[in-house]
């Protein structure tokens, strides 16, 4: 269970933390700075991908600072804020497809990720709570685990990522075919070239999980904009 935002805020005040962007005492990303990041959800184009993908914001400025602070310095109090952003992206993908509920499947961490810190899992759980509050009952299921070949890919281009990522994941948990009405989204913190997401989808499909879209907290702004068809009649509240 992620730490509730209110309790996190109390911890932040007691420990003398400040917003990493505006230095206001309190949570590592204060409500006004989080509000600046919201409302920027946009589609992301991934070559060869047949399902819609969305990111909540561009991977720069406050968002980049927050993601790095969370992942690399372990500032766990950022999980609810990043989860809020991930929920915005997930809802944008989900709304046109009008699901009754939603399964969030995190991309697994590589095997050199810090032990005992399920970084993306915590963000995904916060996102599921936010989606549920917003009217789309959601839960997190880990259906992928890293294989021995899954190594960090920071700084690699698409070709190198593609060759390194092929065969990197293994299915875990339930491997029978998804129920016909299951609505599952792959979630990640940052979608860069889409090589990781594409391989995750391939592994999940081989294990019987049909993924209806991809949601990320952030994506680089350069040349990744695409289109998502407008919903016919939105059923889920934004």
Residue span binding Zn ion (CB under 5 A) among the ranges 25-33, 65-73, 155-163, 207-215: 25-33
The count of other CB atoms within 10 Å of the CB of residue 31 is 14
Number of residues located near Zn ion, criterion CB under 5 A: 5
**Toward Zn ion, which CB reaches closer, 7 or 35?**
35
Residue span binding Zn ion (CB under 5 A) among the ranges 13-21, 48-56, 84-92, 109-117: 13-21
Per CB under 5 A, contacts with Zn ion among 99-118 are none
Per the listing, tokens 């992301």 go with 44
Residues 6 or more apart whose CB falls under 8 angstroms from that of 65 comprise 20, 21
In 3D space, the residue among 193, 186, 188 whose CA is nearest the CA of residue 220 turns out to be: 193
Binds Zn ion (CB under 5 A): choice among 5, 19, 161, 207: 19
User: Does residue 30 touch Zn ion according to CB under 5 A?
Assistant: yes
Is there a contact between 33 and 78 (Cβ–Cβ < 8 Å)? no
Per CB under 5 A, contacts with Zn ion among 146-165 are none
Is there a contact between 29 and 38 (Cβ–Cβ < 8 Å)? no
- The answer to whether the Cα torsion of 120, 201, 98, 217 is positive or negative is positive
**Toward Zn ion, which CB reaches closer, 38 or 98?**
38
**Toward Zn ion, which CB reaches closer, 21 or 71?**
21
Binds Zn ion (CB under 5 A): choice among 5, 21, 198, 219: 21
């Amino acid at each position: 269970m992620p730490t509730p935002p209110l309790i996190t805020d109390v911890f932040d005040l007691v420990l003398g933390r400040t917003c990493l962007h505006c230095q206001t005492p309190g949570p590592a990303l204060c409500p006004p700075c989080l509000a600046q990041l919201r409302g920027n959800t946009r589609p992301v184009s991934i070559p060869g991908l047949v399902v819609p993908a969305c990111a909540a914001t561009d991977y720069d400025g406050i968002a980049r600072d927050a993601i790095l602070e969370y992942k690399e310095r372990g500032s766990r109090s950022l999980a609810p804020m990043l989860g809020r952003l991930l929920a915005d992206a997930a809802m944008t993908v989900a709304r046109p497809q009008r699901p009754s509920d939603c399964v969030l499947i995190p991309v697994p961490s590589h095997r050199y990720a810090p032990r005992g810190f399920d970084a993306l899992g915590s963000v995904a759980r916060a996102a599921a709570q936010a989606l549920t509050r917003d009217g789309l009952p959601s839960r997190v299921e880990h259906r992928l685990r890293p294989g021995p070949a899954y190594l960090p890919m920071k700084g690699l281009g698409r070709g190198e990522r593609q060759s390194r990522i092929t065969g990197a994941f293994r299915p875990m948990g339930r491997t029978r075919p998804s129920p016909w009405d299951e609505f599952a989204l792959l979630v990640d913190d940052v979608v860069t070239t889409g090589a990781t997401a594409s391989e995750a989808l391939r592994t999940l499909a081989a294990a019987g999980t049909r993924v209806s879209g991809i949601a990320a907290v952030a994506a680089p702004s350069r040349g990744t904009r695409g289109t998502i068809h407008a919903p016919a009649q939105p059923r889920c509240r934004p």
